[in-house]
Amino acid sequence: MRRGRALGGGAAILAAALALGPARAQDASGQSLYSEGLSAYEAGDLSVACERFRKSFELDERPAPLFMLAKCSEKQGKTATALAHYESVLRLGGLKPALRDEAVAAVSRLGPIVPKVVVKQGSAPLTAVARLDGRLVVADEIARPIDPGPHQLEVEAAGFEPYSTAFSVEASVTATVTLEVGASLSPQAPSPSSGRLGSFIGGGVASGVGLVGLLSAAATGGVILDQCGGSLGCEQRVVTGEPSDALVVGNAVSWGLGLVGAGVGIGLLIHASISGQPAPAAVSAGADGVRLRF
């Protein structure tokens, strides 16, 4: 027996096509696609048939291709998809009474056996993006129809590895999936070598500033001694407002900057040198002899 006859036979398909004829002429492209879908359906090529019916309906939104798309989807075993199409064509209207009764019977038949899926919130943050078979979903915990067979859930969230899981559902079963995330993408800790380099650079800069300060203090100090005739008893110049008072203030600032800079710089250089050295060896003596531990 030919596959096409198993799907209903040429006579039955032709009868359906005539019964589903629209009240007004279909768009030429839509009618052509619909005819191609009927031929593919009769030949048993359900994949091509369903695609042609879908495209035909998108062009003119008539009940004929939508009804046949529902029948084609049911033949493929996509019960949830078929149920949605049957319900849609009943809302659209325009079917002959016999075909309308067939659609109503299909809704009653498929409703109890269509699988469902419930999406719940798991470890994924609320900002996570979840896709079920490529379509966006949310964790609303509502049981929604889903075609039987294998499915894929994918979750993406900032700061985490992508999460993906596969599951399968059977007729009349309600499956529950939770939105999870992968491993946390923790910031990489800086390497010890980068810390040493920063200490060396900071120590060098601070030491340079300190050296400049000390040289400036020495220079301004020499000028002050020269103005005071070699005497250090010039404190009164700070309050008298003579021109050399600025040198006294500058000299004090330079000494402070130089000493602080030199101290900080030397401290950083010492820290960098110590942190880069291996742990000191420890020597311990025991009953089995002397041990050297690093």
Residue with tokens 């990489």: 188
Task: Calculate the dihedral angle through the C-alpha atoms of 7, 12, 15, 16, rounding to the nearest 10 degrees.
Answer: -30
> Does position 284 have pLDDT exceeding 70, yes or no?
no
Cα–Cα distance, 75 to 225 (Å, whole number): 108
pLDDT digits 0-9 by tens, 173-208: 999 999 999 999 977 655 556 566 676 687 677 667
CA 269 vs. chain centroid, Å, equals 43
Cβ neighbors of 217 (< 8 A, separation 6 or more) are: 251, 254, 255, 258
Residue with tokens 């009764």: 101
Per-residue pLDDT, 44: 97
The region that residue 141 occupies, defined by phi over 0 for left and psi between -120 and 50 for alpha, beta otherwise, is: left
Fold of 3-110: 1.25.40
Q: pTM, whole model, 2 decimals? A: 0.59
Closest CA relative to residue 32, chosen from 66, 7, 3, 55: 55
pLDDT digits 0-9 by tens, 205-227: 766 776 776 776 677 666 666 66
Cβ neighbors of 144 (< 8 A, separation 6 or more) are: 116, 117, 118
